[in-house]
Structures are given as C-alpha cells and as structure tokens.
Structure 1
Amino acid sequence: MLWTPQHQFHPDPFEKEAELEVVIREVKATLFGENRIYVDVKKLIGERGKTQNIPDGYLLDFSSPKRPVLYLVEVELAKHDPLRHIAQQLLNFFLSFKSTPQRMKQILTEHLLKNPEAMRQCEDYALKNGFRNLDYLLEQMIYSEQAFNCLVIIDELEDELESILHSSLGFPVETLTVQRYQSEQGGVVYQFEPFLYDLSSQSATTVPDKGNTPAIDPAEIDTVVVPAREDGFQETFLGENRWYAIRIHSSMLPKIRYIATYRVAPVSAITHVAEVSKIEPWKDTGKYVLDFKESAKAMTPIPLVPGGRIMAPQAPRYTSFARLQKAKSLDEVF
C-alpha cells in the first residue's frame, strides 16, 4: 500500500504488457533521465533464415561523454514465466544483434530522422564530445566489442530471475521494476527507481551542487563504496578480506577494481580501500561477494560533511579511485 493523508493506493497489477508499455512512454523522461533517449519502435532484427527477434524498444544512453551506450529493451510481466522466457529472449537478441548490426543502425537512423528533438540531442552530443557526426556516433555504439547491452523492464523482479539476468548470460543486463497503484477514487500512481539512479551525482544530495564537483563520468567508474557498521567492518571487511552481499549493476561489474568502505556514525567517513580480486554471485540473491587481493589499506579519512551536498550512503555508490584519492570530504567523492 502507498499512503497519503488524502488517499490510500493499493496494488493494481498490469494485465497485459501493452499496459506497461503505455506507462513507460508516459513516465520515460523521469524513468530514464535527461541524458537518455528512449526509442519506442518495434522492428525485426536478425538474419533471415536464422534467429530473428523484435525488441520492445531501445535506449540511447548519453550519460558518459566518452562512451555512449545502446540498450535493447525487453518489457515483461512477472506472471508470464519470466525465468525461462526472458533469458531465452535476451540470448536470441544477442544472436540477432551480432548477425545484423547494420540493421540496428538503419532502425535507429530512421527513428531519429522522424523525431527532430531526438535527432538534435544526438547531434549535440556528437558535436560536444568529439564524434564526427551522427553516423559515426551510431557506429561507435553498435560495432564496438562491448556494444551489446540489455534492459529488462518488468513489474516484479524475484531474486532468482535477477541473479540469472545479472550474472549468467555473459553480457550486461540492467533491470527496472515499474508498479502501478490505484486509489478507490480512481487516482493512479507509479512506483519505480529511475534507471541507474545511484550513478547520478544528484542521487544522494541534500542541497543542489554549486558546480564545484563535476559529475562522475560512468566510463571512469572503477570503485564501489559500501556503507558498513563497525561489527561488519571489523569481522568481514578487515577479518575476511571480502564484502557481501551487495547489489551491483550488471553494467558496472566489469569496471569494478576497488572497494572502499564508508563507516557509519560515529565514524562517518570512508577510511579503508582494497583492490578487488574477483566478484562472484552471492547465492541466488541477485547480489555479489567481492574478494580482496590483499588486506584493505587505511587511508586518510574522507569525512561526511554535516549539511553538505552528499548524505551518508545507505547503499553502494560508485566513483573512481583517482577521485577517491584526491577527495577531502564525501562531497568530493561522488
């Protein structure tokens, strides 16, 4: 239930995928963020006579000035046996994508030509970040070795499905859950966490950034910062040279080289960092365990600033090791 002083909102499950697709179009600006373009088009990809599929859409992610990312989007309902269906569907997407990358480029180009605002955003991004033109920008997103990425939007995500999608398919799969609630008066609200929300420089702020700390480029991320209570810090982070069970975005897994710990009050500071030797799934939870190459090293404490821009981390946050080394306070880490 969602409760306000005026109304009570109860779960109103989607009956058809088309209903969820309508909601995605309605909330796309908030769901995906201002630096991303949702391409709401369904067209066949793949080689004739071989594996062919129709993705539900595409997401152009321009949040990194250095590495634009293309996601193939699959919209599903949990009641449709997603464990078997989604995994197979994404594998088929992979085969279709790799066999006909030129088809992907054609689909995206045709869509952009029909949507002047999306075209302008792409051209502005290309010009600002050193991509010669739209054609070259799309080629960088489609033909690179790490070009294939998926986004699954679903109404309910169970741990087993999340574990399989995030760690068993061999390519990055991000997930979003969107749920609908309705009041007796007919009012409707949607519950979701925006795409890669915890990568945003504004996702844990108390006051607007004055421009003193530039947003972290997702392409430069190599460090995850985890909050820890004193007993867990002593027993696990220092005692076992590992940390578990934490959620890490699928697209972040290949990037993580270091883990730092933010020790909660009364310490209220990042105090130790360790180099990561391996990352493995933690049971069937959709979470991970990070093993260290060697014991964590103490560093000059990076304190929380009371009333500052960044609030005390309540979940894993991402940054770069270079930024971590230079930071004097938490406001300069994220």
Structure 2
Amino acid sequence: MLWNKENKYIELPYERESELEDAVNEVKDALFGPTRIYLDDKKKIGKKGGTNNLPDGYLIDLTNSQDPNIFVVENDLSSHQHLKHIAVQILEFSLSFETSKVKVKNIIKEMLHKRKPEWSKCEEFAKKNGYENVDYLLESIIHKKDSFNALLIIDELGEELETVLISKFKFPVEVTTLKRFKNQNGEILYDFQPFLNEVTEDTEKVDISEIDTIVVPAREDGFKEVFLNENCWFAIRLNSSMIPKIKYIAAYQVAPISAITHIAEVKTIEQWKDTNKYILHFTEPAEKIKKVPLGNSKGKAPQSPRYSSRERIINANTLDSVF
C-alpha cells in the first residue's frame, strides 16, 4: 500500500499481460529516459524452418554514443509464467535474433518509419556520431559481435528468477519491475525504477562510453582479508549489460578512512555461488593509489557498487570528481 493523509493506494495486480504492456507504454518516457526508444509492434522473427518467436517489443538504447544497443523486450507476469517458461522464451529470442538479423533490422526500421519523432531521434544520433544514415546505424548495432541483449519487464521479480537469469545466459539480460496502485477515486500510481538507473546516476560526470571501473565500498576486515589477500571481491550486484565494460575494480574504504585507496585489474567476472550476485577475480594484487577522499559531499560516499573510470579515479582529488 502507498499512503499519505489525502490518499491510500492499494496494489492493483495485472490480470492480463496486455495490461502490463499498456502500463509500459503509459510510463515509457519516465521508465526509459530521453536517450532510449521503445517500439512495441509485435513482429515474428527467426529463420524460416527454424526457431521463430514474437517479441513484445524492442528498446533502442542511444545512451552510449560509442556503443548504441538494442534490447529485445519480453513482458511477463510473475503469477502467470513459470521460471522455466521465461528462461526458455528469452533463450529462443536470442536464437531467432542471431539467425535473422537482416529481418530484425528491417522490422525495426519499419517501426521507426511509422514514428516520425523516433525516426528523427535516430537520424540525429546517426549524423552526430558518424553513421551515414539510420539504416547504417541499425546495421552497425545489429550485426556487431555479441549484439543480442534482452530486457524482461515483469510485475514482480523473485530472487530465484534473478538467479536463473544470471546463471543460464552468456548474453546480458536486464530486468525491470513495474507495479501499479489505485486509490478510491480510480487514480493510478506506477512503481518502478528507471531503466539502468544505477548507471544513469553515475554518468552525470562520466560519459557512459568511458566507464571501465566498478567502485565498491569495503570495511576494514573484508578489505584486508579478501580484497588484498585473496585478490577478489564477491557478492556484488551488477547490471548484466555493464559487465563487458568492467576492466577494473576500485576499493572505497569506509569510515574512518573514507577514501578510494586501491585499484585492481579484473581478470574474470562469474556468478557468486548459487546467487544473483557476482565475484570478480583480479589479474594481480591490487595497486595502492593516491587516496581519493570523500570531499565536501558526504552523499558521494558509495553505499553500493558505483560506476566510473580508472583514469578519472587516478586523476581525482576527491570523490566529487569520480561520480
């Protein structure tokens, strides 16, 4: 329940998947932000005689000027779908995508043609970033190596499902939850975190194309025993689509030190035991660097993993310059 003195909002579960799809369209601008384009036309993809599927939509992500991406979108209700069904559906999307890239490109191009503002946004991005036209932009995104990304939009995400999505796939799968609430006057509220919100918060000063480092908060005992002695750091939550970008890990030692003090090159990133978290193994022992203290803004102290760049950390005087 959501409550204030004027109103009480009770959760209004989705009875049909189409209701969730309508909700996604209702909140898409706030959910995805100005640098992403959501296309919800349903068109079958896949090779003739092979695996064929009907995605619920596509999300064109133009946030990174150096590496734009496309996510294949699946909308599902946790109450209606078994974990196995969701996992199989996403796997089949990847197979269909890989075997029909020309078809996927033409489908997305056709959707954009029907939406002039979205087409103009892609056209502007293409001109600004060295692509000849929208067709060449889509060609470059879809035909690059490891181009498949999945986005699952669901009303409720259990830890078991999140763990399955981490353990079963080699490609990125992002998950966003979207709930709705209703008051006695029939007014609706939607509850969600903006897509890749953790990344967006950290790109106010750091261009997303520059990100190559994850900064983790560490207490003294764990820092010495694990970060320094075991050359790894574990039980970290990460956005799956950001994993390929992470080349380094930096340790922010909490109070009383309150500073980034060490950085290490990342050798591998793997699932941590049977959980929805990760373990990062270092290439070699962490390097001690010039301390990057908290600075004037206490709100900059990492409470959870944060994204930045090694170069920015090495050259920073305080955390105000890191995030």
Check whether TM > 0.5: yes
Give TM-score, length-normalised by structure 1: 0.91
Q: Could you say which residue in structure 2 is the equivalent of 1:14?
A: 14
Question: What are structure 1's unaligned runs of at least 5 residues?
Answer: none
Equivalent residues of 1:181, 1:189 under 8 A apart: yes
* Structure 2 Cα separation of the partners of residues 167 and 20 of structure 1: 26
Q: Could you say which residue in structure 1 is the equivalent of 2:207?
A: 216
2:304 is the alignment partner of 1:324: no
Q: Could you say which residue in structure 2 is the equivalent of 1:32?
A: 32
Equivalent residues of 1:204, 1:313 under 8 A apart: no
2:261 is the alignment partner of 1:282: no
Matches within 5 A, 1:1-334: 1-200=1-200, 203=201, 213=205, 215-217=206-208, 219-307=209-297, 311-334=300-323
How many residues matched?
Answer: 323
The one-letter code sitting in structure 2 at the alignment partner of 1:224 is I
Query: What SS does the aligned partner of 1:253 have?
Result: helix
144 and 138 in structure 1: CA distance in 2 versus 1, 3 angstrom threshold: same
* Structure 2 Cα separation of the partners of residues 45 and 261 of structure 1: 44
Question: What are structure 2's unaligned runs of at least 5 residues?
Answer: none
* Structure 2 Cα separation of the partners of residues 264 and 31 of structure 1: 32
* Structure 2 Cα separation of the partners of residues 7 and 220 of structure 1: 44
The CA deviation at 1:100 is 1.3
What's the CA shift string for 1:241-270, capped at 9, x where partnerless?
221211111112222221111222332221
* Structure 1 Cα separation of the partners of residues 182 and 259 of structure 2: 42
Range that drifts further, 51-60 or 273-282: 273-282
204 and 321 in structure 1: CA distance in 2 versus 1, 3 angstrom threshold: closer
The CA deviation at 1:129 is 0.8
The one-letter code sitting in structure 1 at the alignment partner of 2:312 is R
* Structure 2 Cα separation of the partners of residues 248 and 256 of structure 1: 10
The CA deviation at 1:185 is 4.4
The CA deviation at 1:278 is 1.9
Give TM-score, length-normalised by structure 2: 0.94
Equivalent residues of 1:263, 1:269 under 8 A apart: yes
Equivalent residues of 1:261, 1:271 under 8 A apart: yes
Equivalent residues of 1:236, 1:243 under 8 A apart: yes
Equivalent residues of 2:202, 2:308 under 8 A apart: no
The one-letter code sitting in structure 2 at the alignment partner of 1:305 is G
Q: Which of the pair is proportionally richer in helix?
A: 2
What's the CA shift string for 1:71-102, capped at 9, x where partnerless?
10000111123411111111111121111111
* Structure 2 Cα separation of the partners of residues 3 and 146 of structure 1: 45
The CA deviation at 1:184 is 4.0
